[in-house]
């Protein structure tokens, strides 16, 4: 078992190593910024990676403060579900109401891999591959519809 400080350091090391791993990915080599993440150009919509003791996620998170705005964005994304799910063998999971551990409600569209544990450093390479492979597809699909989303949301 890790102390709070050890767990914090482990998480920090995990993300630093992930950054180094991304530096050698051919598809990311000539990009000024490795991942879109919070720079989607759509307020209240982010692309994210997450990992805990049981599973890893690559996701679109709709986290607009206004519930009406969240639902508007989520419903618009549903309209383009076929495009967003392209390249995902089993599609994506769509969760209209996900409550974060601090109580904040968001919408999530994600691919999930169970059995990954942040504390098992021998899994890190597989977790990084899961993150990279799936985020490359999710980003590509998102960019295919981003301009249309911006128009319809303005």
Judge whether 143 lies within some domain: yes
Q: Identify the three-state secondary structure at position 106.
A: strand
Residue 45 and residue 107 in contact, taking contact as beta carbons nearer than 8 Å: no
| Reported confidence tier of residue 29, pLDDT bands at 50, 70, 90 | confident
* Average pLDDT of the chain, as a whole number: 96
Q: Which residues have a Cβ under 8 Å from the Cβ of 114 and sit 6 or more positions away?
A: 54, 55
Looking at the domain assignment, is residue 145 inside a domain? Answer: yes
| Gyration radius of the chain's alpha carbons | 16
pTM: 0.94
* pLDDT of residue 118 exceeding 90: yes
28 part of a folded domain: no
Note whether residue 17 is domain-resident. yes
pLDDT (0 to 100) of residue 68: 96
Q: Is residue 68 one of the residues assigned to a domain? A: yes
What confidence score (pLDDT) does residue 154 get?
Answer: 87
Query: Measured between alpha carbons, how far is residue 55 from residues 9, 124, 125, 153 in Å?
Result: 19, 12, 14, 32
- Total number of domains in the chain: 1
Would 129 be classed as within a structural domain?
A: yes
Residues 6+ apart with CB under 8 A from 140: 87
Sole residue written with tokens 């551990």: 101
The answer, yes or no, to whether residue 1 has pLDDT greater than 80, is: no
120 found inside a domain: yes
Sequence-distant (6+) residues with CB within 8 A of 20 are none
**Host domain of residue 146:** 4-23+34-153
Residue 101 pLDDT exceeds 90: no
Contact yes or no for 84/141 (Cβ under 8 A): yes
| Residue-level pLDDT at 32 | 82
pLDDT of residue 66: 96
Is 125 a domain residue?
yes
End-to-end CA distance of the chain: 49
């Amino acid at each position: 078992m890790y102390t709070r400080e050890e767990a914090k350091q482990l998480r920090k090391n995990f993300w630093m190593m992930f950054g180094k791993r991304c530096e050698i990915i051919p598809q990311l080599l000539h990009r000024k910024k490795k991942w879109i993440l919070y720079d989607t150009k759509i307020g209240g919509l982010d692309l994210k990676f997450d990992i805990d003791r049981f599973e890893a996620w690559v996701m679109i998170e709709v986290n607009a403060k206004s519930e009406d705005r969240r639902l508007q964005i989520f419903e618009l994304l549903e309209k383009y579900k076929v495009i967003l799910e392209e390249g995902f063998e089993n599609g994506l999971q769509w969760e209209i109401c996900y409550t974060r551990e601090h109580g904040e409600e968001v919408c999530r569209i994600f691919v999930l891999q169970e059995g990954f544990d942040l504390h098992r450093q021998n899994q890190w390479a597989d977790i990084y591959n899961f993150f990279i492979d799936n985020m490359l597809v999710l980003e590509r699909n998102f960019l295919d519809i981003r301009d249309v989303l911006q128009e319809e949301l303005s």
